[in-house]
Amino acid sequence: MTKMSRRFFKGMIYAFLIFLLMLSVVPFYLVMINASHSSFDIVTKLNLWLGDALAENYRTMQTHVNIWRGFANSLLISASYTLLTGYFGAFVAYGFAKFDFRGKKILYGIVLASMMIPSQVSIIGFYQLNLKLHLLNTYWPFILPGIASASTVFFMRGIITQSIPDSMIEAARVEGCGELRIFNRLVYPCVLPGIVTMCIFNFVASWNSYIGPLIIVSDSRKYTMPVMISMIKGLYLTNYGAMYLAIAISVVPIILVFCILSKYIVNGMTVGADK
C-alpha cells in the first residue's frame, strides 16, 4: 500500500467510526435535550437545543415519585447483584471448565436451559414463591439470583477455557495449594478483565429490570428507577418532559459506572504471555 492509499484507508476507517459514533450518540442527545423541554414541545417539534422547562419537569417528576430514592434503591440492588455475579459467575464456571465429573454435560445443559425460559408468565410463580419465602417487598429476590447468573457462567467458562492452561493449575497443585486457594489466588485474577466485562453487562441488566420489581415490590418508597419512570408516564401520557428527565437521570449513573469499569477491560492483558 502506498502512503497515499494508506492515508485514505485510515481516513475511511475514521469516517466509518465517526458515523457509528453519531448513530450511537444521537438518540441519547435527543433524550437529554427533551428532558429540558415541555411535554408539548416534545410532541410538536424536533428539539435540538436546550429548552427552558428543566425546572418545571423536575418539579412534575418529583410530585409523582421521589426519583433520588429510586436511584438509591436501584443502586443498592444492582451493585449487590453485580458483585455476586462477579464472584460466583467465575466460581461456577471454573467448576465446569476445569473439572470433569459425572453428569457434567447434563448439569451444564441445565445452566444453559435456564436462560431459555421466557420470563413473562413465570412472574406469577415467582411471586408465589417469594410470598411463601416471606421475601415480598424486599430486594432479596433480585440480589440473590446473582449467584446463579447463567450467562456469566457461560461466558466465563469460555474465558477460563481460553486463557487458563491446565498446566498452570497442575503446577499449583503440585506445590500443595488447595483448590479454593488456586481459584482465588491464581485463576480469578487472571480472568478479571472478563469478569469486569460481564459485571458491566450485569449491572445494566439489573438496573433496567422492570417487571420483577414492579410485581414484587409494593411499597412505593422501595420502587426502583424503571418502575418510577413508568409511573411518571401517567395514564394520559401528558408528562413526556418529566419522563425524559427521569430517563436521563437513570442513564447517567450507568454511563459513569461504565466509564470507570471500562478501564479494566482495556487491552494489554495478554494473560498467557505473562507466565
209-248 residues near another protein, rule: CB under 8 A: 210-211, 214-215, 218-220, 222, 226, 229-231, 233-238, 240, 247
Cβ proximity of 225 and 70 under 8 Å: yes
C-alpha distances (whole Å) from 275 to each of 68, 129, 193, 196, 264 are 47, 48, 17, 22, 20
Q: In this chain, which of 194, 206, 241, 249 binds another protein, going by CB under 8 A? A: 194
Could you say whether residue 186 binds another protein (CB under 8 A)? Answer: no
**Residue from 96, 211, 194 nearest 142 by CA:** 211
Question: Residue 102 interacts with another protein (CB under 8 A)?
Answer: yes
Q: How far is the CB of 243 from another protein (least distance, A)?
A: 8
Does 106 bind another protein (CB under 8 A)? Our answer is no
Among 32, 123, 171, 177, binds another protein (CB under 8 A): 123
Among 32, 54, 62, 79, binds another protein (CB under 8 A): 79
CA atoms of 19 and 22, how far apart (whole Å): 5
By the rule CB under 8 A, 29 interacts with another protein: no
Question: Does residue 122 bind another protein (CB under 8 A)?
Answer: yes
Q: Using CA atoms, how far apart are residues 82 and 72, in angstroms rounded to an integer? A: 15
DSSP 160-186: HHHH--HHHHHHHHHTT--HHHIIIII
Separation of alpha carbons 91 and 106, rounded Å: 18
Stretch 35-74: interaction string toward another protein, x if CB under 8 A: -----x-xxxxx-----------------x----------
Query: Contact between 15 and another protein (CB under 8 A)?
Result: no
